A and B are shown apart, each in its own frame.
Chain A
Amino acid sequence: MRIARKRRIADRGFTIALACCGLLALIPLISVVWTTASRGLRRLDWDFFTQSMRGITGAGGGALHAITGTLLITFAATLIAVPIAIGTALWLVEYAAGSTSPVIRALARTVRAVIDVMAGIPSIVAGLFMYAVIAVTVGPGYRSGLAGAMALVIIMVPVVERSGEEVLARVPSELHEAALALGVPKWRMILKVVLPTALPGLVSTLLLGVSRIIGETAPLLLVAGFTDSMNYDLTDGRMVSLPVYVYSQWQNKGVDAAAYDDRAWTAALVLLAGVVLLHGLARLVVRRRNQTR
């Protein structure tokens, strides 16, 4: 009887310990969201979304230039990364997987390994890489939004490729076979059957990829630089993004330190809201597809 009781107590203690783990994981989340929201609301006003920091040294000003920069850089990075990532995923799933040629199989293995390695590249290394490319090609002083976007491509490609591959692999093989049995050429089968079927999953993949890069700071700090002014030109001149704006407001505080802190927290809040929104959208897209089946 005493052994049974010991075992029951151990089991009870274990259950409690696990529940504590669950709670312990929630504490930082609640704390992060609460701190960001409560401090960020102080400057969440009209000016924040309509003004840049040009000529501003104390209170006031906004992050319009940083929001514009984030949108432009993220858009450019997505435009470059998604075709490469989805193209690679399509090749792996649709062409390489069924192939019997040893060359293609070896190539597919190499591509998968490379994607794995890329997924592990620290983001600051991606930034250093772009810096090195710039230093070799156009000279070390060049900064632009496009260079930042190219650094983000390195980070985005493996994320989108991996989940894109999973989405494409889940397209039922009956659909492939039915289309091929009708005599449809493979390229048309892929364009008209595989891609439309996988579309919701691919859209969700894309949104998750965007949410992964939208908060990146380090690479943009290195190659896109920082500025107080608006810049709509991706190819020329420094372009600031929201995360870099947060960092620089915190790092280079002026006389009225509180004003800089407030702006940093508000930008952090906008960023956090954007990332959570993207995650929510991604989930919604997938759920809608599941319901329509």
Chain B
Amino acid sequence: MSDVLPPSEAGQVGARRLDALHLLTLSAALATLLLLGGVVVFLGIEGAPALSGTSENLPAGASSIWALAWPLLYGSVWASFLAILLAVPVGVGVAVFAVFMARGALGRWLGTAIDVLAAVPSVVYGLWGLAVIAPRAVPVYEWLSTRLGWIPFFAGTPSTTGRTILTAALVLAVMILPIVSSVSREAIRLVPSSSTEGAQALGATRWEMIRTVVLPEARSGIVAGVMLALGRALGETMAVAMVLSPKPFLVSLRLLTSENPGTVAAYIAQNYPEAHGLEVNALIWLGLLLFAVTFAVSFLARAIVRRSGGGSR
């Protein structure tokens, strides 16, 4: 109650003029625009020289920047796709479980656990993948290779260290699981209870209700969550850089061998310390490409949400 307003200001009720705070917050908003503009411009300036690079001065003796970029982009997409394949069924399952079955304390605990999983720094995931996943994966990979070696994905001599693209995808799957499950949980919560109650009133079991009503209605939200997770997986750097030792220019479908394609983000981190001259420009150009890909993914996600009329905004 200390600031009863002075009569001189009383006339400004609802006034639309620019006050100092409006200007201040507006300049903050403009600063955000500037920040993103800066990212594109500076990456462009420093990345563009790589376009004229030759096998003399590009990393790994690549004949052109594209010869370097395509296999790495393939590796990024392939590893992220595998991670999505592993994480989505579990993530959506957890979301359904949390909404329909784990009410009360159990649900809260599960939510907290998923939150913590999302907060673990990526270097810790990298250490964990090397110390826990990779050694335990070796016997599994050997088994897969002997029994199912006729499938192209499992062909070739299995790695003895466990540091393969499948291991990297497993670690990535753990990292994106929280995104998939929290976004799907929100989408599933938004399904109106009139729909679920209607299904139950018609005699549907819980499984039938979820399959015929809940999942179809929540689909666009779940897809948006998957795209978000895909963007995260594509950009993930440290965990992949630590788990995977890639072979340059390799494009391969094999999951278990010790010869694996690299990913763009991990390649940048792994080669940055020794890079000099035009090699640095090449890495920056790769970064710009990665940005373009993640931008396309998030754009697609928003288009999906908008088309189906759902979404939070």
Contact = CB atoms under 8 A, between A and B. Distances in A.
Bound together: yes
B287 A125 contact: yes
Interface string A41-57: 00000000000000000
Contacts of A116: 298, 302
B39 A129 contact: yes
B119 interface: yes
Contact of A32 (B12, B14, B22, B128): B128
A72 B22 CA distance: 31
Contacts of B313: 112
Interface residues on B, range: 35 or more
Given A123-B235, A246-B124, A271-B121, A21 B94 contact: yes
Contact of B36 (A31, A117, A276): A117
A268 B129 CA distance: 13
A191 interface: yes
A21 B33 CA distance: 41
Contacts of B151: none
B205 A35 contact: no
A186 B19 contact: yes
Contacts of B201: none
Interface stretch (B3-11, B53-61, B159-167): B3-11
Main secondary structure of the interface of A (DSSP, over half): helix
A52 B104 CA distance: 47
Between A22, A33, A131, A216, the greatest number of chain B beta carbons within 10 A of the residue's beta carbon is seen for A22
A232 interface: no
B28 to A, nearest CB: 3
B13 A114 contact: no
B305 to A, nearest CB: 11
Interface residues of A, number: 97
Contact of A217 (B19, B115, B237): B237
Interface in A62-113: 83-88, 90-92, 94-96, 107, 110-112
Interface in B77-106: 89-91, 93-94, 96-98, 101-102
Interface string B34-69: 011011001101110000000000000000000000
B3 A87 contact: no
B32 A28 contact: no
Contacts of A26: 110, 113
B128 A87 contact: no
B220 to A, nearest CB: 17
Given A125-B39, A136-B46, A120 B20 contact: no
Nearest to A32: B128
A115 interface: yes
12 contacts: A15-B101, A28-B117, A28-B177, A29-B117, A32-B125, A35-B132, A117-B298, A124-B290, A185-B13, A186-B22, A218-B122, A279-B119
Given A136-B45, A279-B119, 19 more contacts: A19-B101, A22-B97, A25-B117, A26-B113, A32-B124, A32-B125, A90-B21, A91-B28, A119-B298, A124-B235, A124-B265, A125-B291, A129-B42, A131-B280, A161-B32, A184-B9, A187-B19, A215-B123, A247-B126
